[in-house]
Amino acid sequence: MAGVPWDPTQSQSDFMLRDTCIVLSPDDDVVGSSSKKAAHVFSPGQPRGVLHRAFSVFLFDESSGELLLQKRAASKITFPNVWTNTCCSHPLHGMEVDEVDGPEDVKDGSVKGAKNAAIRKLGHELGIEADELKVEDFKFLTRLHYWAADTVTHGEKRMMNSPWGEHEIDYVLFMTVPSKESVTLKPHPDEVDDVMWVSQAKLLEMFDDKTLLFSPWFRIITNRWVIGSTDSESGEKKAGWWDDLDRTMKTDDFCDYGTIHRFDPPEEHMGGAGDAGEWLVGGDEAVKGMENGVMPNGNNVNGEVVGDSTKKQGAYGKVKTHKESKLSQILHLDEVWSAITLLYISPLESNLESPLIRETFNPLDLKFCDDILCKVSRSFAAVIRQLPSQLLVDVLIFYLVLRALDTIEDDMTYFPSNEEKVKSLLAFHKTALVDPTWTMMGCGEGDERRLLEEFPKCHSVYAALPEGSRRVISDITLRMATGMAEFVDKDLGQGTVDVAQYNRYCHFVAGLVGEGLSRLFASSELERSALAGELHLSDQMGLFLQKTNIIRDYLEDYVDGRAFWPQSIWKKYSAGGDLGYFANPATEEAKKAGLCCLNDLVTDALELAPDCLAYLSKLRCAEVFRFCAIPQVMAIATLDRCYHNADVFTGVVKYGRACRASSSTTQSTCGGCTGSSTGSPPASSRGRRRRGGPASTIRPTTGQPERAAPSSS
């Protein structure tokens, strides 16, 4: 199950099927996921397997300067019987303690994900207790990209029958302990046949012993960096990382985070099924043709391309994005026309500069709120800005407050315990919404982190709202936080239990938003007061948006270990009894089952559509109608793209109709974003799906019914 560190009852083949490796582009961008088995198969279709992330730990005893080696167990499927460095394995998707690093983590050398994975595997393979090692004590040195067919341990004759190999970007991690006694070694018999502490001299002696086998990556790393060398031409001595462990561990003299060193394997590891031959030695040029973790002209074992290194990544940057083709977009002539209308004929007008707003709120604080809204919500910012002035800021602040709450709920590492997170969630309405100086430092990422860190600016605008609006925002915030707290401790690795739990979750994070909005619409007097009592219809509006997001984000949520597809639905279709079954369909039948399950969920969501239409039909203000209808139309378009679409199981399905452009035009019409971004991509493309809606595409307003103009516009 996703999220469980390791299960002692699992066999090598269980791990091969269950572990979800992180698939990479040659630049080390995360572009997808693959079962461990699929990633390590070397076949004519993928002669060098699928490029994925790995780590290699070198553990030294400070007192003697010796390095701990292991001999991989004879029962290992890849590279059995070989001597290698202390521990080498893979960071995985979907682990409870996150193991997926992004470019920023590499840049600053923190790579916590790889280090967390190292602690997990040092425990699993060698029995070293987690409390004997600290993430901070690992030293990340550099990355190497190499591949190697396992033609040696499996033998030439078995080559075609045992087409295994490694193709990895390997994060090299050094670790020292004061003495051998500081770590308890209890090697797992399925993983390790032998361990040995060795000096440099002893290791060189072993390398010369032709009866011993060594893993290709261990030889490459050791010869290139770990042991010092003498330049054959100049006679100059180059220090190795092992020669001065103190310097290696305490300074950054040997750290190189900017380069990915590329290596072809020693000759004996070339060939392999598919007869790959050499390939990486040409450096970066040589890997240009490689895409999506797979060789040029090669697909992954399922016959699919598993990611897209050249395109922006999915919402978490962890799975790939499937965009609609330009041709398909152009074929939707009605939408092209609508986009042209919104772009050039009648763009949405912003009411943010209206006198009422200028007089009521601190202009600098409001500017901060508007800028950050634009950063975190993209197209939705324009939909908010076109609201009439007596409602606009109320909705804007409501959105930001919920986003701040969601950032707290979403951060899986900030709080020392779930209990602390729950406390913070439940206090939010009394802290953030009452204390004008309240901030939270270091929680969340990018612009969302900034939102929490500069929350006093948001509070200043909130405090100037009418009392009725503040009451609505505070009430919904508390009720949503209470619902979130209910889910903090739940294991969602395999989704929600049943449709009732699925609906309950959606109610808390989205249905309540519908209630809050209806109450804000009514108290602004733009809508009838009775709308505030339409609790069922407003709830369904939120559920429809949220269910659409959950359907679309299947893979992302699954690899993150926080899935929402209800078991009572997907278990009808998953012969494997695992939600991940659909992501790695082994047979045509499994593929079909995945599509049936997907269609079942789309149909369930579509049942909400009549209530959404009923809600929309009760609106009388054109701007409020537009504000509510645009996300609904985007959701319908997303469901349309998802229905019977196997891409849902390999990435995030986005549609990119021409009208997306219209939203950015609106932003520039009203000044757009002027604040400096924190450098990360807009949070809506990174954050959890319940914050952002479906893909950033606005279905324009053609065909919208004529409505009475609101009093102010």
Catalytic center residues: 505, 552, 562, 627
Euclidean distance between CA atoms 72 and 12, whole angstroms: 12
- Count residues near ligand IN0 (CB under 6 A): 28
In whole angstroms, the minimum distance from the beta carbon of 599 to ligand IN0 comes to 22
The Cα angle at residue 379 between residues 559 and 525, in degrees rounded to 5: 115
Q: Among candidates 47, 50, 95, 86, which has minimal Cα distance to 68? A: 86
Q: Is 628 in the site for ligand IN0 (CB under 6 A)?
A: yes
Closer CB to ligand IN0, 183 or 520, in the complex: 520
Contacts of 258 (CB under 8 A, 6+ apart): none
In whole angstroms, the minimum distance from the beta carbon of 503 to ligand IN0 comes to 14
Neighbours of 618 (CB within 10 A): 15
List binders of ligand IN0 among 222-241 (CB under 6 A): none
Q: Is 687 in the site for ligand IN0 (CB under 6 A)?
A: no
The Cα angle at residue 660 between residues 656 and 663, in degrees rounded to 5: 165
Closer CB to ligand IN0, 222 or 684, in the complex: 684
Q: Is 701 in the site for ligand IN0 (CB under 6 A)?
A: no
In whole angstroms, the minimum distance from the beta carbon of 564 to ligand IN0 comes to 12
Closer CB to ligand IN0, 147 or 615, in the complex: 615
Q: Is 398 in the site for ligand IN0 (CB under 6 A)?
A: yes
Q: Is 638 in the site for ligand IN0 (CB under 6 A)?
A: no
The Cα angle at residue 130 between residues 127 and 133, in degrees rounded to 5: 105
Closer CB to ligand IN0, 180 or 504, in the complex: 504
Candidates 541, 597, 659, 670; binder of ligand IN0 (CB under 6 A) is 541
Q: Is 405 in the site for ligand IN0 (CB under 6 A)?
A: no
Contacts of 577 (CB under 8 A, 6+ apart): 571
In whole angstroms, the minimum distance from the beta carbon of 616 to ligand IN0 comes to 9
In whole angstroms, the minimum distance from the beta carbon of 59 to ligand IN0 comes to 44
Contacts of 665 (CB under 8 A, 6+ apart): 342, 343, 347
Q: Is 684 in the site for ligand IN0 (CB under 6 A)?
A: yes
In whole angstroms, the minimum distance from the beta carbon of 550 to ligand IN0 comes to 10
Q: Is 317 in the site for ligand IN0 (CB under 6 A)?
A: no
Q: Is 696 in the site for ligand IN0 (CB under 6 A)?
A: yes
Euclidean distance between CA atoms 197 and 25, whole angstroms: 36
Closer CB to ligand IN0, 23 or 648, in the complex: 648
Q: Is 483 in the site for ligand IN0 (CB under 6 A)?
A: no
In whole angstroms, the minimum distance from the beta carbon of 682 to ligand IN0 comes to 8
Residue type, 434: V
Phi, psi angles (nearest 5°) of residue 14: -60, -45
What is the Cα 549 distance to its own chain's centre?
Answer: 15
| CB-side neighbour CA atoms (13 Å) of 413 | 12
List binders of ligand IN0 among 201-220 (CB under 6 A): none
Q: Is 503 in the site for ligand IN0 (CB under 6 A)?
A: no
Question: Residue 176 pairs with which residues in a beta bridge?
Answer: 60
Site string for ligand IN0, 507-526 (x = CB under 6 A): --xx--xx--x---------
Q: Among candidates 480, 609, 628, 596, which has minimal Cα distance to 548? A: 609
In whole angstroms, the minimum distance from the beta carbon of 97 to ligand IN0 comes to 26
Closer CB to ligand IN0, 87 or 563, in the complex: 563
Q: Is 546 in the site for ligand IN0 (CB under 6 A)?
A: yes
In whole angstroms, the minimum distance from the beta carbon of 364 to ligand IN0 comes to 23
Q: Is 657 in the site for ligand IN0 (CB under 6 A)?
A: no
Q: Max alpha carbon distance in the chain (Å)? A: 89
Q: Is 627 in the site for ligand IN0 (CB under 6 A)?
A: yes
Question: Residue 355 pairs with which residues in a beta bridge?
Answer: none
In whole angstroms, the minimum distance from the beta carbon of 359 to ligand IN0 comes to 24
Write down the H helix ranges in 411-445: 418-431
Candidates 692, 699, 701, 710; binder of ligand IN0 (CB under 6 A) is 692
Closer CB to ligand IN0, 399 or 655, in the complex: 399
Of 115-123, 305-313, 534-542, 564-572, the window that binds ligand IN0 (rule: CB under 6 A) is 534-542
In whole angstroms, the minimum distance from the beta carbon of 631 to ligand IN0 comes to 4
- Token duo for residue 526: 């733009």
Q: Is 399 in the site for ligand IN0 (CB under 6 A)?
A: yes
Candidates 545, 593, 602, 653; binder of ligand IN0 (CB under 6 A) is 545
Contacts of 145 (CB under 8 A, 6+ apart): 26, 28, 51, 168, 169, 170, 260, 261, 262, 263, 280, 287
Q: Is 473 in the site for ligand IN0 (CB under 6 A)?
A: no
Closer CB to ligand IN0, 86 or 351, in the complex: 351
Closer CB to ligand IN0, 56 or 377, in the complex: 377
Closer CB to ligand IN0, 414 or 627, in the complex: 627
| CB-side neighbour CA atoms (13 Å) of 624 | 32
Q: Is 302 in the site for ligand IN0 (CB under 6 A)?
A: no
Euclidean distance between CA atoms 709 and 242, whole angstroms: 76
CA distances from 208 to 6, 43, 202, 203, 336 (A): 36, 32, 10, 9, 69
Q: Hunting for tokens 């394997």 — which residue is that? A: 265
Contacts of 362 (CB under 8 A, 6+ apart): 460, 461, 464
Q: Among candidates 171, 343, 279, which has minimal Cα distance to 701? A: 343
- Token duo for residue 310: 């050249």
Q: Hunting for tokens 């770990």 — which residue is that? A: 226
Closer CB to ligand IN0, 177 or 517, in the complex: 517
List binders of ligand IN0 among 366-385 (CB under 6 A): 377-380
DSSP string, 227-278: S-EE-TTT--EE--TTTTHHHHHHSSTT---S-EEEEPPPGGGS-TTTT---
Please give the residue ranges that form the binding site for ligand IN0 (CB under 6 A).
Answer: 377-380, 395, 398-399, 402, 509-510, 513-514, 517, 538, 541-542, 545-546, 627-628, 631, 684, 690-693, 695-696
